[in-house]
Structure 1
Amino acid sequence: MLHHDICILGAGPGGATAALHLANAGQLCLLLDRATFPRDKICGDALSGKVLSELKRIDETLPAQLNTSPAQVPSWGIDFFAPNGQKLAVPFKPQFNKATDRAAGHVAKRVDFDNFLIEEVRRRPGIDFRENVDVARTERTPEGWQLLDKAGREIATCRLLLVANGAQSEFARKVAGHALEPNHHCAGLRTYYQNVADLSPDNFIELHFIKEFLPGYLWIFPLPNGQANVGVGMLSKAVADKKVNLRQRLDEILTTHPALAPRFAQAERLGPVRGFGLPLGSKRRALSGAGYLLLGDAGSLIDPFSGEGISHAMVSGRHAAHWAAEAIKKADFTAGFLQNYDKAVYNRLGKELRLSRVMQRLLNFPSLFNFVANRAIKNPTLAETLSMMFLDLDLRERLRQPGFYFKLLFGGK
């Protein structure tokens, strides 16, 4: 039988990041995943500047390693397309120079990025990493947790459980009480294409807010080898209320939209359209309880406006590692002590999640969204703020300044 002080369920970005930080601190852990890597994960595949910052915190060489990987393309900004068709180009860095600047973002398929992290995990002897292990049930014990397979056989025991097993986490639902709330959950579809016309030469990721599809949006993210990740997302409540068939709407948009149809006329779809659900961070939920911490998607930490979840999973993984080590040191696994983890995560992400929630609500008001997009073209403060939401620039200090909101609405630097 395996016994560890700390066990991590799920080896995606949140779980892998937690394991790597624990290893850096000299703390042994058991990392379990039901899959064998490399494995695919349905996602938009965009890696924001926050991801690069979190990689650097793990190991200073990791961002450079990612930058030279053939599995990614460097992305230099975002193209927002408002409901009126107005394009707002927001570079991650004003007046960037591709010859000398390091890219502030990347796009890489999750099968490749997650494996990039796992390869780092494999290099750490302090991480007991086990693949193809399906934890079907967890049982609370006086000493911590017992992990069981489908037949009820014990897989491992631990004192503290870090739950990073994704958006469909049974533990998050049954133990932590995270119910699926349609108003705080996004339904998404993703597929891959080859030869989409007129992709940005600077690999800007595209977010299209199409009037007839609001409050949903469509994305096009460029990938290596002339491929692109194409998908749609919409609040689950809106999907149900409007009886939207997302697969049908995706096909309709790509074949009939006046700006997009010509770009997809010669494009080839690679493989099936696959669906996924995103528990959004638009509502603050408990991230811990007696003997456990919730990380990433299992903690409903996805950005409600952009749908970005990788960096938030990695942020939560870093803080989970810190507070897990503290809990071991103090032998304190009570719900009260572990709430320090919740405070740390929301101290870092809370204000940004609230700002994203405001941006998400704009999608219900096309004319207001158009107004914001039009203003942003002439308003550097607003354009910078949109850009910063995708970078690792801490918005908290800026959001605390009363004058910021005046500039946001009325322009100025």
Structure 2
Amino acid sequence: MLETEICILGAGPGGATAALHLANAGRPCLLLDRATFPRDKVCGDALSGKVLSELRRIDAVLPARLEAAPVQLPSWGIDFYAPNGRKLAVPFKPNYNATTDHAAGHISKRIDFDNFLIWEVRRRPEIEFREGVDISQHEQQPDGRWLLKDTSGTPVALTRLLLVANGAQSSFARQIGGHALEPAHHCAGLRAYYRGVRNLHPDNFIELHFIKDFLPGYLWVFPLPNGEANVGVGMLTEAVSKKKVNLREKLTDMLATHPALKDRFANAERLGPVRGFGLPLGSKRRKLSGPNFLLLGDAASLIDPFSGEGISHAMVSGRHAADWAGRALATKDFSTPFLTGYDKAVYNRLGQELRLSRVMQRLLNYPWLFNFIANRAANNPTIAETLSMMFLDLDMRERLRKPSFYLKLLVGK
């Protein structure tokens, strides 16, 4: 059995980011994951500008290294399709030049992006990375340390501080962290890969389709390398239950019959099965820490409630978790009151953005209002910029504090 000061459960973007920041600070840690990398994870596969910023905080060369990798596509914006069929194109960067500028976003399968981070993890001697270790039991000892056991009941590690980054289905987050599944703050989704989808944007804009008969859900189409595309749907679990929606049937039907999609998918080939997943959304502020533990990423229910994006939020939480883990070790204080500072740091960075996304999510219940905003946004730079900022690393906090911002949202200019 290993004894360590810091143990991280889960080597996805949140856990890997925390481990890399700890390594940068010269602090050793143990990183455990039940999978063996490279491994797939069901996701939309979009990497926002905030992801690039977090990579840069780990190592300034990482964004360029990602940009040069053949497993990604540079993405220059978003095409929003309103319920009335109107398309609103929102570039990530005004007046961009795709041949000379650095892309503001990327699209990469999670099997490739997560392995990109793991390659960095393997390079760091401060990180002891163990794959294929499935932790199923977490027992807190009288001295506050966590004893971790695998599925056979064999002790694996004893740690002073536990960073929990093992995903949306984390038993620790549910049973100990208190993050119960709440249908009003949880999204059900499906994802499939396709080849041969017609008329994808030449600059790899990601597509979000808000189809009237499918609201409050949405359908996405994200281009990928090698002529592939990530295609999926998401809807609040509460709405799926109330409306008795069969997501698989709806996805198949919309791709086959919707005017904006049917011709584009007529000769497309689906690659592999349609896979489902659940997303605990950040539409409700929750406790992210407790005695000798911190929750990160999806395990902390930090997924954007409007876009469904979770990678950058996981990386933000990983950075702050590494910071507060270092503070706890320095002060030898692992108590709940002290670690609440981590909660404050995460929500100070993400809280207002999550609240804005929650407001936009609620618009999906009112198609006429969504159409109105889409129509206005075509002539209102403030709305278009706000939509873009949700996917970029532009800190919205100062703008959201100014009353003039909301006036511009209403009247334009």
Q: Is TM (by shorter chain) over 0.5?
A: yes
Instruction: Report how far residue 151 of structure 1 moved.
Output: 2.1
Looking at structure 2, the residues matched to 182 and 215 of structure 1 have their Cα atoms a distance apart, in angstroms, of 13
Map residues 88-127 of structure 1 onto 2, 5 A cutoff.
Answer: 88-127=88-127
Map residues 37-52 of structure 1 onto 2, 5 A cutoff.
Answer: 37-52=37-52
Q: Partner of 1:181 in structure 2?
A: 182
Map residues 294-309 of structure 1 onto 2, 5 A cutoff.
Answer: 294-309=295-310
Looking at structure 1, the residues matched to 225 and 320 of structure 2 have their Cα atoms a distance apart, in angstroms, of 32
| 138-147 vs 104-113, which moves further | 138-147
Count how many residue pairs are aligned between Structure 1 and Structure 2: 412
Offset from partner CA, 1:107-149 (integer Å, 9 cap, x none): 0000000000000000000000000001010100133100001
Verify: 1:65 aligned to 2:65, yes or no.
yes
Offset from partner CA, 1:145-166 (integer Å, 9 cap, x none): 0000122211010000000000
Looking at structure 1, the residues matched to 21 and 305 of structure 2 have their Cα atoms a distance apart, in angstroms, of 27
Verify: 1:5 aligned to 2:1, yes or no.
no
Looking at structure 1, the residues matched to 139 and 50 of structure 2 have their Cα atoms a distance apart, in angstroms, of 35
Offset from partner CA, 1:262-299 (integer Å, 9 cap, x none): 00001000000000000000000000000000000000
Q: Tell me the secondary structure at the aligned position of residue 390 of structure 1.
A: coil
Amino acid of the structure 2 residue aligned with 1:93: K
Q: Partner of 1:29 in structure 2?
A: 29
Instruction: Report how far residue 369 of structure 1 moved.
Output: 0.1
Map residues 162-181 of structure 1 onto 2, 5 A cutoff.
Answer: 162-181=163-182
Looking at structure 1, the residues matched to 54 and 244 of structure 2 have their Cα atoms a distance apart, in angstroms, of 39
Amino acid of the structure 2 residue aligned with 1:50: K
Looking at structure 2, the residues matched to 272 and 410 of structure 1 have their Cα atoms a distance apart, in angstroms, of 46
Looking at structure 2, the residues matched to 381 and 113 of structure 1 have their Cα atoms a distance apart, in angstroms, of 32
Looking at structure 1, the residues matched to 87 and 206 of structure 2 have their Cα atoms a distance apart, in angstroms, of 12
User: How many percent identity over aligned positions?
Assistant: 75
Q: TM-score, normalised by structure 1?
A: 0.99
Looking at structure 1, the residues matched to 363 and 373 of structure 2 have their Cα atoms a distance apart, in angstroms, of 9
Looking at structure 2, the residues matched to 165 and 388 of structure 1 have their Cα atoms a distance apart, in angstroms, of 28
Looking at structure 1, the residues matched to 155 and 237 of structure 2 have their Cα atoms a distance apart, in angstroms, of 37
Verify: 1:340 aligned to 2:364, yes or no.
no
Q: Partner of 1:17 in structure 2?
A: 17
Offset from partner CA, 1:180-210 (integer Å, 9 cap, x none): 0000000000000001000000000000000
Looking at structure 2, the residues matched to 107 and 89 of structure 1 have their Cα atoms a distance apart, in angstroms, of 17
Map residues 75-224 of structure 1 onto 2, 5 A cutoff.
Answer: 75-143=75-143, 144-224=145-225
Q: Any unmatched runs of 5+ in structure 2?
A: none
Amino acid of the structure 2 residue aligned with 1:71: V
Q: Tell me the secondary structure at the aligned position of residue 378 of structure 1.
A: coil
Instruction: Report how far residue 245 of structure 1 moved.
Output: 0.1
Verify: 1:276 aligned to 2:277, yes or no.
yes
RMSD: 0.4
Q: TM-score, normalised by structure 2?
A: 0.99
Looking at structure 1, the residues matched to 19 and 274 of structure 2 have their Cα atoms a distance apart, in angstroms, of 32
Q: Partner of 2:290 in structure 1?
A: 289
Q: Any unmatched runs of 5+ in structure 1?
A: none
**Structure 1 segments (4+ residues) deviating >3 Å:** none
